[in-house]
Amino acid sequence: MTAAFPGTRLHSATRLLHAGAPALRDGAGPVNVPVVRTSTVRFENTAAQADHHHRRTAGERVASYGRHGLDTHRALEDAVVGLEGGHRAFLTPSGLSAITLVLLALLSPGDHALVADGVYAPLRRVDSTLLQRLGITVEYLSPTHDDLASRLRPNTRLLYLESPSSLLYEVLDLPALSAVARDRGVTVATDNTWSGGWFHQPLALGANISIQAATKYISGHSDLMQGIVVVDSPALAAKLSTAYEALGLTIGADDAYLALRGLRTLPVRLAQHQRNATAVAEFLQQQPQVSRVFYPALPTDPGHALWKRDFSGASGLVSFEFRHATTAAANAFVDALRLFGIGASWGGYESLALAAQPERLREHRQWTGDAPVVRLHIGLEEPQDLIADLAQAFADAAPAL
């Protein structure tokens, strides 16, 4: 392919496959975008350098120094801007740094932010260690139990969401929440890591900013740490850009390349994660030791209708609650797994299990249980092998469950 077919609106999966393909020179060239590693940029003369500098300060995405990133970064940014349907993307060294960037870019001393109580837990540490020190007030709300309008204050600048939520996958009504916030001039940011940006487009549903840990599904191979922020307007791009530069954020070209490579197969991987996770979720629902399975694609999940409306698929994350087990028994179950690795993170090709910490669960208003919860990331193994592993762990830990 040399260029997009004129007059043809290509499907997203096709665009992801060809995003950033370099132009041919002398009738030939590589398939992939080159990895352009550099610490600086060379100019033909001082006038060219001044011109680049001016265009950059006027908001144009041109590089005048290595930290700005060259072709590889640019190709990745363009691909994720297309994926999320936004205006501009910022690449950060981790998902958490993407979150911190958004908070620091938008909040000033005296400002107030409302944060959904089911967000990625380390955000609370950013609040307690950094934002509080800067005189920024963060309050947590349950977007499904609390009335957002009455929680907004005159100095509220940001509504920060994550849908579905971490650990329990509570699906939020993003269009309704965004409408309330935007009506009061409050910026809406949401963490879109769960969907990989493929199953859910928050900017089309009312959010202003979509954040992803590319560490998870965009990488897809558990070999990359990276965050991505996509904003919907030049005004927000300018705010993010100021903070991004002040913090000296950048990523390496090799990491940009890995994310771009992951994007090529994101749709096929996610479709398989969904098939495998659905098979595992249905198996878990039939186990007498399990009282509840958290997976929005299950018709019994309370978020199912919203998920069906706002998402085009479900990821590989499935949590379940034991009916009677103690924490020690739940840990024994996890220890009895052989194929599942034990650990945090997710989004790679391999399956992982994690015993949820009760204090994390209690942060979610939605959580009313007291039995242990295990989070599974269902990878790309044959689902029958995963189910067999879970079955043997249930049998092994049976006396305690």
Ligand X SMILES: *Cc1c(COP(=O)(O)O)cnc(C)c1O
- Give me the active site residues, please: 67, 120, 191, 216
Element (H, E) at 151: helix 148-151
Among residues 14, 120, 388, 400, the one that binds ligand X under rule CB under 6 A: 120
C-alpha torsion 68→189→93→84, nearest 10: -70
Q: Give yes or no for a contact between 316 and 353, defined as CB atoms under 8 angstroms apart.
A: no
How far apart, in whole angstroms, are the C-alpha atoms of residue 291 and residue 401?
11
Q: Contacting ligand X (CB under 6 A), which of 158, 213, 297, 373?
A: 213
In a 13 Å sphere around the CA of 100, the CA atoms on its Cβ side amount to: 19
Q: Which stretch binds ligand X (CB under 6 A): 4-12, 72-80, 208-216, 282-290?
A: 208-216
Which positions from 221 through 280 interact with ligand X, judged by CB under 6 A? 225, 227
Of the candidates 191, 232, 321, 389, which one interacts with ligand X according to CB under 6 A? Answer: 191
Q: Which two tokens stand for residue 396?
A: 């092994």
- Main-chain phi, psi angles of 64, to 5 degrees: -120, 5
CB of 348 to ligand X, least distance (A): 12
Question: Of residues 20, 95, 197, 220, which one binds ligand X by CB under 6 A?
Answer: 95
Stretch that binds ligand X, among 167-175, 211-219, 245-253, 376-384 (CB under 6 A): 211-219
Distance CA 206, CA 13 (A): 23
Q: Which of 72, 100, 187, 193 binds ligand X (CB under 6 A)?
A: 193
Please tell me the count of residues contacting ligand X according to CB under 6 A.
14
C-alpha to C-alpha distance for 294 and 169, rounded to whole angstroms: 7
* Residue 94 lies near ligand X (rule: CB under 6 A): yes
Angle between helical axes of 234-246 and 95-106 (0-180°, round to 10): 110
Q: Does 126 bind ligand X (CB under 6 A)?
A: no
Interface with ligand X, residue 84, by CB under 6 A: no
We find the least distance from the C-beta atom of residue 203 to ligand X, in angstroms, to be 17
For residues 117 and 115, what is the distance between their CA atoms, to the nearest angstrom?
Answer: 6
- Which CB sits closer to ligand X, 156 or 195? 195
User: For 257, phi and psi rounded to 5 degrees?
Assistant: -65, -45
Does residue 96 touch ligand X according to CB under 6 A?
Answer: yes
C-beta of 327 vs 345, nearer to ligand X: 345
**Contact status: 352 vs ligand X (CB under 6 A):** no
Which CB sits closer to ligand X, 332 or 354? 354
Interface segment toward ligand X; rule CB under 6 A; list 23-31, 35-43, 70-78, 210-218: 210-218
Beta bridge partners of 320: 293, 374
Backbone torsions φ then ψ of 161, nearest 5 degrees: -125, 170
357 belongs to the binding site for ligand X (CB under 6 A)? no
How many angstroms separate the CA atoms of 390 and 339, rounded? 9
Position 127 contacts ligand X (CB under 6 A): no
Report the C-alpha gap between 215 and 91 in whole angstroms. Answer: 12
Q: Rule CB under 6 A: which residues touch ligand X? A: 94-96, 120, 162, 166, 191, 193, 213, 215-216, 225, 227, 345
